[in-house]
Amino acid sequence: MPEGNADIIRLNGAAKHFGAVRALGGVDFHVGPGECVGLVGHNGAGKSTLMHMVAGTLTPDSGRIGVHGGSEDNYSVSRAQQLGIRCVFQELSLCPNLSVAENTRINHASLRGFGWRRKAAELIAAKLDEIFPGHSISASDIVGDLSIGRRQMVEVARAFTVTQDRLDLVILDEPTSSLDAHTAGQLLAFVRRFVAGGRSCILISHVLGEVLRNADRIVVMRDGKVVVAAAASAFDRDRLVTAMGGAEARQKAAAQVAAAKPEASPLRVRARPAAQKDGAELVARAGEIIGLAGLAGHGQTDLLLAIFAAASRARAGIEVTAPVALVAGDRQSDGIFPQWSIAQNIGIRSLARLRNGLLISPQREAELAGFWQKKIGIRTPDMNNNIFSLSGGNQQKALFARALGSDAEVVLMDDPMRGVDIGTKLEVYDLVREEARNGRTFLWYTTETEELDNCDHIYVFKNGRIVANLRRDELTEEKIIQSSFGDAA
Amino acid sequence: MTAASVDTGLKASSERGALARARLLRGLLPALSLALVLIAIAWLNPRAISYFGFSLMLNLAIPIALATIAQMFVIAGNELDLSIGTFVGFVGCVTATWLKDAPLIGVAILLGSIGVYALLGALIHLRNLPSIVVTLGMSFVWQGLAILVLPKPGGKAPDWLLAIMAFKPPLVPFPIIAALLIGLVVHFGLMRTSYGVILRGSGGNPAALGRAGWSLLKTKIVLFALAGLFGVLSGMALIGITTSADANIGNGYTLLAIAGVILGGGEFVGGRVSPIGAVLGALTLALAASPLLTFMHIPPDWQVAANGTILIIVLAARVLISRRER
């Protein structure tokens, strides 16, 4: 390839095996200067493995890596840093016990000596101002005190800070998964400016629209291989989904949902947010899917948690008539028991049914896990493996299995699809609708407007209050944005 | 739209203000518990609150504070050292024998023991061993070595050490000055320097640190070596006060040091530690241990049990306050 010398990074025939699992089977990949490469594919398609190689955190079993035209034999993280390649990993990689400025210091070996704290603070504050104007994050904030969205903002901004090393390529792995629409827009606009300035980005996202709008070139991966790579203009949404080998398009959803539910089905939840001043309240009946919309962090999660608490102990303003299960949004900190197997993680919500005398019956636990493995399609050779052996999307499926496998009639979902690939999403949507037809009630907080298409009824939240109450047929994106940003009605 | 984002900004900053207040409260807690113990002592025996009284009551606070700092370095890296007590005892025995009789060999032994600590850190990291098991094993090794060095109680502290520990500054008792100095020096080293950030980060999110290109092996070695260094200082300070040694002299320090770190606002995992808090925690424990109980007229037979009860009460109060943060 004649232009090969100009590439920032080029991988030829990169392969990686984890035990018996082939994560990456001989991939050719390159990024040139001044381009934004979109990388899409299902969870488990090998995107993360490939990016870890680019960032130097994984070495390929075979294949070659070349950076800036030179061949790299001992490629490592610190080498990648020197060569100007950075990565924002999907799992947050900030130290929660340190301040924003101190976390910046960790990525810059040159921030040392007298006055390093001030330099680090100025560096990160300037970059935050540049990417997210009006961000309200202080460099002295302890990261553990920040919301997940702000942590992601810090992490992104940190990747773009420059001290002595050059900066040519930033890998953004699901950078917008915890951001609301406004900050996500700020970030993507910055990425465009960054690329226009002659530097490069790799953008990984499950929000296909983001990739289509912002990438110059799109690379589609499936089963550890690159299946298509072409200019972004050659793709539209359907072609991308087809290339990824995803399930069929989601259009059928709406029609099914629209089928009217009898008004008379029994009441499951009636709840009024604590901050609500008028009489508006959330009402959910058996068999309904209720959407909670609005900007991130405007009281949706709080209400879900209040409903969850009210199920076991009576609370003023909230009425719950059936057992409740919660699917957590921040699965690493609120959902998963890291030391446990997949089967144990699924069974924890159903211990009463799995009991045999005083002990948990391993056999029943295995049966429950096996049933849900088939039903929800958890991809693992053995459900007794540790939960972390699963990819992110499959971990989330296990959490769904935990809730759906329980006796809960009301399932609360706290933006559970964050960072999950589209194939998994479509499978879960189908499952949710099927369970709703069988009489289960879902309360679904989501930051992705598309997901609201699955809901019968949508409540829009602002500042901890319900500001709009929409039926499915009234739902449009404009209406939600209007109510989210408008004055409280 | 801007109105909305300003609005959320305000809300978020007030939320974080509340969190910062809760953190400040937790930061003040070690000082508060120390004040509480002091008030109780002043109420029970006003004469104890004097230059002489403090010198006497805080007599053993310096070695406890140093051992607590040693433990704090280990806890900062998400590990636990169950051998610090017997290590202090071993250092004490070496100080009262070799260091006095053959200073060069004594110094070599003490430096070597710091090296052993560093090696333990490397072993724990490389073999991914649980530190509790390794240090529990080492506690018997140190104990055995201490008995070999000094089979029966005795020995004598070097004169220069006795002179240092008997130092009587004007106005403020020596233990208070020493505690302040220890707290400030370690605070600067661990909380303000750029490498201190890396050390604490290795407890907060080791994976992230590794990805940023830092060696986790090195951070663990440094943390354990620092624990060894402060363990040596603790043992020497202890012998400087007691003038002679006994192989079992430091055995109680293991748990005192852990309690001091936690009382001082540290947490077992997550790299959240506070050097100044740890020193205050050690002072609180030193005061609550015997002076307070003696003034309460609790017979010596019951003092150990009463000591434990006070520990539970203080730590429970700490947990209650830090829970309000969530």
Task: Say if residue B301 is exposed, middle or buried (CB neighbours under 10 Å; 0-12, 13-18, 19+).
Answer: exposed
Q: Does B16 touch chain A (CB under 8 A)?
A: yes
Interface contact A136-B208, CB threshold 8 A: no
Contacts of B209 in chain A (CB under 8 A): 95, 106
Q: Does A106 touch chain B (CB under 8 A)?
A: yes
A464 CA to chain B: closest CA distance, Å? 11
Contacts of A141 in chain B (CB under 8 A): 16
Integer Cα distance of B1 and A481 in angstroms: 10
Q: Is the C-alpha dihedral spanning B87, B92, B93, B95 positive or negative? A: positive
Contacts of A147 in chain B (CB under 8 A): 12
Do residues A291 and A459 make contact, with C-beta atoms less than 8 angstroms apart? yes
Q: Identify the pLDDT of residue B119.
A: 97
How many Å is the Cα radius of gyration of chain A? Answer: 23
pLDDT tens digits, one per residue of A96-153: 999 999 999 998 888 888 899 999 999 999 999 999 998 889 999 999 888 888 899 9
Q: Identify the pLDDT of residue A245.
A: 67
Confidence of residue A91 (pLDDT cuts 50, 70, 90): low
Q: Does B209 touch chain A (CB under 8 A)?
A: yes
Q: Is the C-alpha dihedral spanning B260, B265, B271, B274 positive or negative? A: negative
Pairs of residues, one from chain A and one from chain B, whose beta carbons lie less than 8 Å apart: 95
Dihedral Cα B47, B50, B56, B62, nearest 10 deg:
140
pLDDT tens digits, one per residue of A402-414: 888 888 888 998 8
> What's CA A384's distance to the chain center, in Å?
25
Interface contact B200-A55, CB threshold 8 A: no
Listing DSSP states for B84-136 in one string gives: HHHHHHHHHHHHHTHHHH-HHHHHHHHHHHHHHHHHHHHHHHHTT--HHHHHH
A68 CA to chain B: closest CA distance, Å? 21
Closest CB from A98, A107, A147 relative to B212: A107
Contacts of B265 in chain A (CB under 8 A): none
Contacts of A142 in chain B (CB under 8 A): 23
Closest CB from B5, B201, B272 relative to A134: B5
Interface probe for B, chosen from A78, A97, A164, A332 (most Cβ of B below 10 Å), is: A97
End-to-end distance of chain B based on CA atoms, in angstroms? 30
Closest CB from A93, A462, A484 relative to B205: A93
Confidence of residue A249 (pLDDT cuts 50, 70, 90): very low
Interface probe for B, chosen from A137, A140, A145 (most Cβ of B below 10 Å), is: A145
CA angle A101, A104, A108 (to 5 degrees): 135
pLDDT tens digits, one per residue of A448-473: 777 888 888 888 888 788 888 888 77
Percentage helix, strand, coil, to 5, in chain B? 80, 0, 20
Contacts of A102 in chain B (CB under 8 A): 197, 200-201
Instruction: Please write down the HEC assignment for all residues of B155-204.
Output: CCCCHHHHHHHCCCCCCCCHHHHHHHHHHHHHHHHHHHCHHHHHHHHHHH
DSSP state of A197: T
Residues 6+ apart with CB under 8 A from A229: A217, A218, A219, A220
Interface contact B192-A182, CB threshold 8 A: no
pLDDT tens digits, one per residue of B253-308: 998 899 899 888 888 888 999 999 999 999 988 888 777 877 888 888 887 788 78
Q: Identify the pLDDT of residue A482.
A: 67
Listing DSSP states for B290-321 in one string gives: THHHHHTT--HHHHHHHHHHHHHHHHHHHHHH
Residues 6+ apart with CB under 8 A from B118: B221, B222, B224, B225, B228
Q: What is the pLDDT along chain B (326 residues), one digit of tens a residue?
A: 344 444 444 555 566 677 777 777 777 888 988 898 889 888 988 888 888 888 888 888 999 999 999 999 999 999 999 999 999 999 999 999 999 999 999 999 999 999 999 999 999 999 889 999 999 999 999 999 999 999 999 999 999 999 999 888 888 999 999 999 999 999 999 999 999 999 999 999 998 898 888 899 999 999 999 999 999 999 999 999 999 999 999 988 998 899 899 888 888 888 999 999 999 999 988 888 777 877 888 888 887 788 788 778 877 877 777 666 54
Contacts of B21 in chain A (CB under 8 A): none
